[in-house]
Amino acid sequence: MEPGAVWHVRPVSFADLDGWKADDHGAALSALARHRQKPAEHSYRKGRLGLDPDRLLDLATRADDARARHDPRAFFESQYVPLRLAAADGARGRVTGFYEPELAASRRKRPPFETPFLRRPADLVAVDDTSRPAGLDPSYRFARRQPGGTLCEYHDRAAIEAGALDGQGLEIAWAADPVDVFFVHVQGAARLTFADGTATRITYDGKSGHPFTAIGRLLVERGEIDAQRVSMQTIRQWLADHPDRSRALMAENRSYIFFREMPAGDPGDGPVAAAKIPLTAGRSLAVDRLIHTFATPVFVEADAVNGDRFRRLMVAQETGTAIVGPARGDIFFGTGDVAGERAGAVNSPCDFTVLAPRDMADTLPAYWTP
């Protein structure tokens, strides 16, 4: 979406939502009710759209009531008002897919497990407009605290992979393929399995602060992949076909992700992500958290997801560096290779309709500039 584009918030009826009646509202209700698992000490930020997190969480709690479970569609229709997000210039949103990779790993470095997943280092600190040092790009949300206490730009991917953080004991586990590790950084989480049959999960715990650079876009700009064919699968194939150039290309994405370890949990659950609850395959949506508030139901109408029209009620429960704009979403497809195949092929125009609590719908702006 072009910077400065004006977006309208237009009330519609549920009857106006193509595919609303045919959706599995019970599945969406179960995803919404998961917000009851949010740790009490963790709070959600109100997005610019203006939906209050406390009110959304109150409805998420009520989503687990017997009456709501008895008739999920009636629950949504009685408690929420649908508001279509529409760009004044007619531009549409876009939806892609993400997943949780599942990799074999080792607790110690040994061939072929030689590429690490790193914990967050002690000198990585979050910054905002009040603490960001002069000269550090305004987009950077993390910086490096130097021995004297001053802040500076953190090491980027190339520097870290060259050994900038070696010797600090930050390694959680080691994987065999640097390309697999790179895509775990892109997805922000992974389920790791070890030779003894045990498993663990790693999830996002900060980043170097550098802007995310989509290497697929670089390959398209350089004529290496046709724009109509670019996907996670074609990017991975290019990297496999050009081993002498792959590491340099990945290093152009200077953003480097740090992880924390989590219990493996129920294999049927997704990872615990930004909303601090387990994600639900097919129902959890990553959104721009500066605009949207977690626990907001969002009805997504996409032209084509894995070859079919997509009409589904999702719940805003995750975010991502590349997810920017009012109608920009990322669908969580689950864990493992099959989920990865489905997620990697998704790139579709879409429309967003947010469900606002009935007592809040009149308080939202009629239009705004993100």
* Domains of the chain, residue spans: 7-98+268-368, 100-261
Work out the burial of residue 173: count CB atoms within 10 Å of its CB; fewer than 13 is exposed, 13-18 middle, 19 or more buried: buried
Average pLDDT over residues 120-140: 92
The tally of CA atoms less than 13 A away on the side-chain side of residue 60 is 24
Q: Is the dihedral of CA 296, 299, 301, 307 positive or negative?
A: positive
For residue range 265-281, list pLDDT tens digits in order. 887 789 998 999 999 99
Class (C level, CATH) for 7-98+268-368: mainly beta
The topology under which CATH files domain 100-261 is: Ribosomal Protein L25; Chain P (2.40.240)
Q: What is the pTM for the complete model shown?
A: 0.89
Phi, psi of 235 (to 5 degrees): -65, -45
Distance CA 195, CA 311 (A): 41
pLDDT, position 135: 87
Residue type, 28: A
Block residue for tokens 């809040």: 360
Task: Please list the helix, strand and coil fractions of the chain in percent, rounded to the nearest 5, in that order.
Answer: 25, 30, 45
Distance CA 161, CA 165 (A): 8
Average pLDDT over residues 158-172: 98
DSSP class of 135 = T
pLDDT, position 1: 41
Which residues does 105 contact at the CB level (< 8 Å), separation at least 6? 113, 117, 173, 174, 175, 192, 193, 194
Model confidence at 362, pLDDT cuts 50, 70, 90, reads confident
Model confidence at 4, pLDDT cuts 50, 70, 90, reads low
Distance CA 210, CA 253 (A): 8
